[in-house]
Amino acid sequence: MVEKKPAKDVNKSAEIRRIAAAMKEKGEKPRPVVIIAQLKKQGIDVSSPQVSMVLKRMGFKPRRRRGGDAVAAAPRGGRSGGPISVEELIAAKRLVGHFGSVDRALAAVTALKRFES
């Protein structure tokens, strides 16, 4: 049976690091949900942000989230398909800088589009 420790006698960060190191030795990726569950069995309450911060300071990177790529789905002028390149983003930033704001740059591009039609 697991011995429960009073919360005042426990260094929570040290316990998080201990569990994360043990998981790494086993070849598992330490995740906050798993660590919180293990600590809860020991009677230690920790929050997800606390565990995430300790893991981050240990050098573990957060898991990447899946999601739609809004930049890749944006319509493109002149070229077909694919995501916007870094060079195109730099050119867009220069354009916005020239006009002073994104709204003014969009208004100019909209006006230009009307002339092309």
Q: Are 11 and 48 in contact (CB under 8 A)?
A: no
pTM: 0.50
Tell me: the pLDDT tens digits for 49-87?
Answer: 999 999 999 988 877 777 755 544 445 455 556 788 899
Give the model's pLDDT for residue 109: 87
R_g over Cα of the chain: 25
What are the residues whose beta carbons fall under 8 Å from the beta carbon of 101, sequence distance 6 or more? none
Distances in whole angstroms, Cα of residue 101 to Cα of each of 76, 80, 90, 94, 98:
20, 27, 15, 11, 8
Would you kindly state where each structural domain of the chain is located, as residue ranges?
7-58, 73-116
Taking the C-alpha atoms of residue 65 and residue 12, their distance in angstroms, rounded to an integer, is: 27
